[in-house]
Amino acid sequence: MKIRFITALIGAVVISASLNAAPAKSEKHAAAAVQFRQAMLQLVRSNVGALGGMAKDQIPMNAATLEKNAMRIEQLSLMMDDYFSVDTRNFPVETDALPGVWEDYADFQSKIVALTTAANELKVAAQQGDESSYKAKIGAIFKSCKGCHDTYKAE
């Protein structure tokens, strides 16, 4: 009985966490989706600069900054599914998103999850003061950017 309840609960969480992609309803809708996702990614970018600098010893490691920026990246990554689930392929929008995003949306979602996971792990490490793992965890975030861009973003 208890197990069935927990299974149902996990099922509900999984369903609510993953949207299916659907075509944009109009050119205006598609343009807005592009604008939002690019703005969100610019905010992601604004939070990785310091992490890169720390990983390369250009600026001192700072646990408070690591925690704050990792938390922001985690939160921003949770918006990616919302904005990318609007399939903009049918409209003449200016985008670097490749058509593959919506050809295998489940795979694209798995790349989002990789970023969410990497950001969460850096946040937790910073909260715990686990200094020896900082560089590896920062590296995992950058790896997840590249892991998605290589397949789904035009140069």
Q: Is 45 in the site for ligand HEC (CB under 6 A)?
A: yes
Please state, in angstroms and rounded to a whole number, the distance separating the CA atoms of residues 64 and 123.
9
Here the tokens at position 92 are: 């003449």
Q: Is 95 in the site for ligand HEC (CB under 6 A)?
A: yes
Contact region for ligand HEC (CB under 6 A) — 5-13, 14-22, 23-31, 108-116?
Answer: 108-116
Q: Residue 65's Cα: distance from chain center in Å?
A: 19
CB of 3 to ligand HEC, least distance (A): 33
If we measure between CA atoms, which residue out of 75, 79, 72 comes closest to residue 33? 79
Q: From the list 44, 54, 55, 70, which residue makes contact with ligand HEC (rule: CB under 6 A)?
A: 44
Q: From the list 86, 125, 140, 145, which residue makes contact with ligand HEC (rule: CB under 6 A)?
A: 145
Q: Are 22 and 87 in contact (CB under 8 A)?
A: yes
Residue type, 111: K
Please state, in angstroms and rounded to a whole number, the distance separating the CA atoms of residues 77 and 65.
18
Count interface residues toward ligand HEC (CB under 6 A). 25
Q: Which residues bind ligand HEC (CB under 6 A)?
A: 34, 37-38, 41-42, 44-45, 48, 73, 80, 95-97, 101, 108, 111-112, 115, 141, 144-145, 148-149, 152-153
